[in-house]
Chain A
């Protein structure tokens, strides 16, 4: 069909001989199967790191912020570095699902679910730092503009820190809702696939009773599109506002008008690096290499290359303008000659090497299609972007306007512990997610299978029609549909099966039609080619019942073995000898055994 057309030059996004059913099976497998050993090892390590961080947080809150390495000169250090780092990482998910949806990029579909999960988990980590830094986290609700016991004491809406509260909470909640709405059809798929009653119940609740009506899908697509339109400026606003925390101050190196676009580009840069880090491992562990292909990895590397380029230009601009201003304080900002040769030279060069130099290797096509090299580059960028925030905050503060207060920052074990703890918490959440959530937006991937699947591209190029190619014999009884049915009915005005001789049993046309429908499902008996089985061997079937079954056109074990509750109910209705008997005695199961 022309609606599935895609230029042959585009590389397939779904590899292998996949049918719609294959996608359900592959996406459902990690959830319906058991966790392997490596999952448990990773989970244990993450959990230990998380618990260690939790201990450090409890220690900080119970003792005071003094347990951190902060001093009078450097009043912001690791906590804000980690906050900005995590928020930045949390930018890729919404960018992938929203911006790429607006641009109609099909490759987003395999990665958006996990990228959004990563976004939400990263923003949760980010949100922890300001709350811990408040010192009394149980008073965190004071940032909300609510009437209070102090009379007309309100929050200050001129403050970028309050803008942060609104921006990040809006971002977190909208991302969550966007993510969950997309998950509904996939939870429904798991709900309908699983055999375990417990899972059926849980995924039934999680799927909100999603049924997949045409009208639901129409609204679903419209909601996704509008949410994408809202989330795109939202995601840009969040890091813009985070950059205002610095840009609205008068600290040299922070007071910079290019911070908003530069921070947004940096956030996407680090976010995509984290997506690469996670997905390169995940696709291997849960066997999704056919869905998250080398093409996806290359596309993400191209985004990294673009945003890395923007960040590079911003660095060079900062360096040049600082020098060109001739202001002596500017020689101590994080991008200056002073920083490159001063006591923080190692942090300066870590930033330059990790963010400017190493990503340049991705210009080489062979390298950006190399999985191992991509993984290394992604890790390097994660480190580099952490150093960027560390440099902005600590280097700029370390040499303030009064030379006698110049000092350096050294983290305590608590600083390090809290950071490690958030990494642990992040991976705890992500690992749990990978085991319990459909990690690929399977409904969306199914909608592009016929245009971008390798198998369908091949069929289309060979000039064949795609209609009917989605048939999967594991889920459909297509083969049992008697071809003679249509032919027979062409000849006669009514087409009741010739093997049916049920006039004595049924009186209405409706019933006859129902019998036909049943036979269409379980198959018809052809006396010319088949021989009748001894149905009395089925426990519960006597001579009388066998005769009645024969009257209905049921002669073989094969037919009986295909019966389900629907057919039993029909038999009960027509024969009404032993209600519920067939189901109780499990005729189908018995016939299955007798067949062999």
Chain B
């Protein structure tokens, strides 16, 4: 069989999709990608995807935000322009900190949220003017598409196996990229 072939296998039910993914994995077929219209719970585990580390990123970004707030207000309120406001002199950052807590909190959230979302967009390669890459328009409606690596597999056997897992449509794609 010619290498570089990819099968686009469509399913129209999430439960059947889950079973198919598990069946494919147990037969050691390689799943290149799965496109779904909504988050199918447990699909990432069934596919063997590693955990996402985006929450850890967010935590680090939050710490950066907290540091930025601290450095900024220490410079502005304590070092550059100390003032006596309402009988409360500018002593040290630590002693005057209670008044700075709201801004420290807000900037922590600001950094953690925005930088995390930007990281998500960059990692998943989504941004304005990006072309959509779902192979079938129905994958945003009610269809689920598995890209199966068909290289070095008997196409007939594979497509028969896929139909048996409940696939509704199968199409063959010659894809140089995966050759």
CB of B21 to closest CB in A, whole Å: 9
CB of A301 to closest CB in B, whole Å: 29
Partner of B81, one of A154, A173, A189, A222: A154
**Is B179 in contact with chain A by the CB < 8 A criterion?**
no
Stretch of A84-92, A123-131, A510-518, A543-551 with 4 or more beta carbons under 8 angstroms from chain B = A510-518
B35 pairs with A208, CB closer than 8 A: no
- A51 to B163 alpha-carbon distance, docked (Å): 61
Which chain A residues border B43 with CB–CB below 8 Å?
214, 217
B19 pairs with A467, CB closer than 8 A: yes
Which chain A residues border B81 with CB–CB below 8 Å?
152-154
Count of residues in A whose CB is under 8 Å from the partner chain: 97
- A486 to B121 alpha-carbon distance, docked (Å): 42
In the complex formed, the residue of A with least CB distance to B156 is A494
B113 pairs with A227, CB closer than 8 A: yes
Stretch of A280-288, A331-339, A443-451 with 4 or more beta carbons under 8 angstroms from chain B = A443-451
In the complex formed, the residue of A with least CB distance to B142 is A20
B113 pairs with A177, CB closer than 8 A: yes
Which chain A residues border B38 with CB–CB below 8 Å?
20, 185, 217, 442-444, 446-447
**Is A256 in contact with chain B by the CB < 8 A criterion?**
no
In the complex formed, the residue of B with least CB distance to A186 is B140
Interface digits, B16-40 against A, CB 8 Å rule (1 contact, 0 not)?
1011000000000000011111111
Which chain B residues border A63 with CB–CB below 8 Å?
none
A468 pairs with B126, CB closer than 8 A: no
In the complex formed, the residue of A with least CB distance to B113 is A174
Which chain A residues border B130 with CB–CB below 8 Å?
208-209
- A204 to B126 alpha-carbon distance, docked (Å): 11
Q: Given A152-B80, A177-B113, does the pair A217, B39 have CB atoms closer than 8 Å?
A: yes
CB of A469 to closest CB in B, whole Å: 7
Interface digits, B49-64 against A, CB 8 Å rule (1 contact, 0 not)?
1001011001000100
Which chain B residues border A192 with CB–CB below 8 Å?
132, 134, 137-141
CB of B98 to closest CB in A, whole Å: 10
B12 pairs with A472, CB closer than 8 A: yes
- A411 to B134 alpha-carbon distance, docked (Å): 57
Partner of A189, one of B37, B73, B171: B37
A157 pairs with B103, CB closer than 8 A: yes
Q: Given A214-B49, A221-B39, A468-B13, does the pair A208, B127 have CB atoms closer than 8 Å?
A: yes
**Is A216 in contact with chain B by the CB < 8 A criterion?**
yes
B52 pairs with A237, CB closer than 8 A: no
Which chain A residues border B96 with CB–CB below 8 Å?
158
Q: Given A163-B102, A467-B15, A485-B163, does the pair A510, B170 have CB atoms closer than 8 Å?
A: no
**Is A188 in contact with chain B by the CB < 8 A criterion?**
yes
A517 pairs with B171, CB closer than 8 A: yes
**Is A462 in contact with chain B by the CB < 8 A criterion?**
no
Interface digits, A447-464 against B, CB 8 Å rule (1 contact, 0 not)?
100100000000000000
Which chain B residues border A158 with CB–CB below 8 Å?
77, 85-86, 88, 96, 99
A208 pairs with B126, CB closer than 8 A: yes
**Is B120 in contact with chain A by the CB < 8 A criterion?**
yes
Which chain B residues border A475 with CB–CB below 8 Å?
12, 138, 141-143
In the complex formed, the residue of A with least CB distance to B137 is A192
A223 pairs with B114, CB closer than 8 A: no
Within 8 A of B (CB), among A218-242: 218-223, 225-227, 230-231, 233-234, 237, 241
Within 8 A of A (CB), among B128-179: 128-134, 137-143, 155-156, 159-160, 163-164, 166, 168-172
Within 8 A of B (CB), among A196-223: 204-205, 207-223
CB of A165 to closest CB in B, whole Å: 9
Interface digits, A160-190 against B, CB 8 Å rule (1 contact, 0 not)?
1011001100100110011001001100110
- A107 to B59 alpha-carbon distance, docked (Å): 29
**Is A343 in contact with chain B by the CB < 8 A criterion?**
no
In the complex formed, the residue of B with least CB distance to A221 is B39
Stretch of A369-377, A389-397, A476-484, A584-592 with 4 or more beta carbons under 8 angstroms from chain B = A476-484
B141 pairs with A211, CB closer than 8 A: no
Which chain A residues border B126 with CB–CB below 8 Å?
184, 208-210, 216
**Is B112 in contact with chain A by the CB < 8 A criterion?**
yes
B52 pairs with A217, CB closer than 8 A: no
- A466 to B13 alpha-carbon distance, docked (Å): 9
Which chain B residues border A530 with CB–CB below 8 Å?
none
Count of residues in B whose CB is under 8 Å from the partner chain: 88
B44 pairs with A218, CB closer than 8 A: yes
A212 pairs with B139, CB closer than 8 A: yes
Partner of B155, one of A160, A215, A478, A510: A510
A219 pairs with B168, CB closer than 8 A: no
- A244 to B99 alpha-carbon distance, docked (Å): 11
**Is A341 in contact with chain B by the CB < 8 A criterion?**
no
B132 pairs with A145, CB closer than 8 A: no
Within 8 A of A (CB), among B68-99: 72-73, 76-77, 80-81, 83, 85-86, 88, 96, 99
In the complex formed, the residue of A with least CB distance to B100 is A157
Which chain B residues border A216 with CB–CB below 8 Å?
124, 126
Which chain A residues border B168 with CB–CB below 8 Å?
471, 476-478, 481
**Is A21 in contact with chain B by the CB < 8 A criterion?**
yes
Which chain B residues border A446 with CB–CB below 8 Å?
37-38, 142
Which chain B residues border A219 with CB–CB below 8 Å?
52, 54, 120, 123-124
- A189 to B143 alpha-carbon distance, docked (Å): 12
- A186 to B112 alpha-carbon distance, docked (Å): 25
Which chain B residues border A450 with CB–CB below 8 Å?
14-15
Q: Given A24-B142, A215-B124, A447-B38, does the pair A230, B112 have CB atoms closer than 8 Å?
A: yes
Which chain B residues border A443 with CB–CB below 8 Å?
37-39
A204 pairs with B142, CB closer than 8 A: no
Which chain B residues border A223 with CB–CB below 8 Å?
54, 116-117, 120
A470 pairs with B13, CB closer than 8 A: yes
A241 pairs with B109, CB closer than 8 A: no
Which chain B residues border A156 with CB–CB below 8 Å?
83, 85
Determine which residue in A211, A237, A472, A510 has the highest number of CB atoms from chain B within 10 A of its CB, and name it.
A211
B33 pairs with A213, CB closer than 8 A: yes
Q: Given A185-B140, A222-B54, does the pair A468, B106 have CB atoms closer than 8 Å?
A: no
In the complex formed, the residue of A with least CB distance to B53 is A222
- A1 to B43 alpha-carbon distance, docked (Å): 14
B117 pairs with A495, CB closer than 8 A: no
- List 20 extra interface pairs beyond A205-B129, A212-B37, A443-B37, CB under 8 A: A3-B41, A154-B76, A166-B103, A189-B141, A211-B35, A212-B134, A214-B33, A218-B52, A226-B58, A226-B112, A227-B116, A234-B109, A446-B142, A447-B40, A467-B13, A486-B160, A510-B155, A513-B155, A516-B156, A517-B170
Q: What are 24 A-B contacts with C-beta separation under 8 Å?
A: A3-B41, A24-B142, A154-B81, A155-B76, A170-B109, A177-B113, A184-B126, A192-B134, A193-B140, A208-B130, A212-B140, A214-B35, A214-B40, A217-B38, A219-B120, A231-B109, A234-B106, A241-B102, A444-B38, A465-B15, A468-B15, A470-B15, A509-B156, A566-B171
